[in-house]
Amino acid sequence: MGSTALLALVSGNMAFAAVTPEDVWKSWQETLTTAGQTVAAESEAREGDTLVVSGVTITSESDGSKAVVSMDEVQFTDTGDGSVEIFMPEEFPVNLTVPPGEGETAPTEIELTVTQTDMVITASGAADATSYAYDVPTMAMEVTHLQGVKAEKLDLTAKMAVTGAKGSYTSTGTTDKALATEGTAASVAINVVVNDPETSSKVNFTANIADIAGKSAANLIGGVDMADMNAALKAGFTTDSTLTYGKVDYSFDFADAEQSGASKGTVDGGNVDVAIDQGRMAYGFGNKAVAITVTGSTIPFPEVAVKFAESAFNFVIPVSKSDAPTPFAMLTKIVDLTVSDEIWAMADPTKTLPRDPVTVILDAKGTAKLSVDLLDQAAMAALGGAAPGELHSLDVTELRVKFAGAEATGNGALTFDNTDMTTFNGMPAPTGKVDLKVVGANGLMDKLVSMGLMPEDQVMGFHMMLGMFAKVVEGEADTMTSTLEFKDKGFFANGMQLQ
């Protein structure tokens, strides 16, 4: 909610200008209303080339939460060259109300104070196609009251500072708005410190993020309740955004009368992508060169260290009922994961297992046909335990698991006959094949037996199963391959029919 309010005041102010100051103010109100927010003002007065709007409030509400941005005055100045400059207060409050959580009887009231220095917002163009440029050297947001108590009395520090924010913004349309924005920030710094003398506890968190860049595009539809996302999508609402960032570092520590702990970490860079329209919902994130360490009084060794070279998670899924199969995709990846020797020593003190980096990758795509809209809560509830649609195809482009000297890889493609739910016991009958290759599996199982982690008879049974499903590759030590094929209503492993 706080982010929504701040975006409303920053991007909103920079996004809704026109040829004259009056048109700027009118467009601002229309667009924020289209986005599901409420804009109000106590008075409007023209003073020479400037429209002065006093007592401005921007209110956002969602699921019982509420955010109100209050500004004593906003000025819209005609520069005389076809553009309008927008000036906001250097300091103003944002009041948040969060509904009570489990076991609570009253909502939480939080007041944030926003400060900004030398902000410049310039709008130019036509009333229905306006371009904006903004430059915000510094901006800060800090918690100043919590439940009506001043932060200093609570011994609380919670603030965020942004430096070097620049970008541009374009707004086209009248009742319906097409918005596009692009911007960068040199850095974001976050600091939270909480001291509670009554419990002798302390919490300290800091984070720094460098080289932030983002792009977004959205279509906002007038007269649509944005709280009903399913209806908004059917009306034409869309959004697509990408955020990238550079070096990240953080530190966290806590202590009370009984225990203490700390963590710190770094990330070399990453990304977050979000998109939704009537046809699909997409979400993804990724990080590179992550290193995290954890210490604590309850940890039985000095430090836990975790590192990995790359991680990613992405999915694209259909969200609307359709008569034809619609594409979906998913990716989960973690590459070259390592943990400190202290963790390994708990399970393998004799160093029997190779402590090679661990990699897990699953990259798949396919098609599915939905019988209901996924964002229609009533329709989803009516399904009970039934599936919301049908799986029509699945293509595994990459499967890779590497652990303790063993590695499994694979790929394959299947199609599914949803008219046949009996051949494979309630699953649509598949057609297609999957190719697998496993290296080092026998060696890994033998090591697990020697460590006492697997019973020998269980491993013998696993070896027998591998003999049924896999074949040895001549000339390659401890290497097996398998082709699993579904055809003619049957299941085959390396050409041998098993069902």
Kindly tell me if the per-residue pLDDT of 7 is higher than 80.
no
Structural element, H or E, at residue 257 = none
Q: Give the pLDDT of residue 19.
A: 67
As a whole number of angstroms, the distance between CA 32 and CA 9 comes to 10
CA 319 – CA 369 distance, rounded (Å): 10
Q: What is the dihedral of CA 418, 422, 425, 430, to 10 degrees?
A: -40
Question: Can you list the positions of beta strands (E) in 32-107?
Answer: 38-40, 43-47, 50-62, 65-78, 83-87, 91-98
Q: Where are the domains of the chain?
A: 17-114, 405-498
Answer yes or no: are the C-beta atoms of 25 and 51 closer than 8 Å: yes
Q: How confident is the model at residue 35 (pLDDT cuts 50, 70, 90)?
A: confident
Structure tokens at 444: 């890994």
Q: What is the pLDDT of residue 496?
A: 80
d(CA 139, CA 120): 12
Q: List pLDDT tens digits, range 101-116.
A: 777 778 889 999 999 9
Handedness of CA 347, 352, 353, 357 (dihedral sign): positive
User: Positive or negative, the Cα torsion across 404, 407, 413, 419?
Assistant: negative
Cβ–Cβ < 8 Å for 84, 77: yes
% of the chain exceeding 70 in pLDDT: 95
Question: How many CB atoms neighbour CB 383 within 10 A?
Answer: 12
Query: Please, how many CA atoms are within 13 Å of residue 370, restricted to the half-sphere of its CB?
Result: 19
List the one residue out of 85, 134, 94, 140 whose CA is nearest residue 116. Answer: 140
**pLDDT tens-digit profile of 162-172?**
999 999 988 88
Place of tokens 């550079």: 246
- For the chain, the average pLDDT equals 88
Cα(470)–Cα(493) distance, integer angstroms: 7
- Main-chain dihedrals φ then ψ at residue 271, nearest 5 degrees: -155, 155
Distance, CA of 27 to CA of 130 (rounded, Å):
10
β-pair partners for 51 = 46, 76
Lowest mean pLDDT among 124-138, 224-238, 406-420, 459-473: 459-473
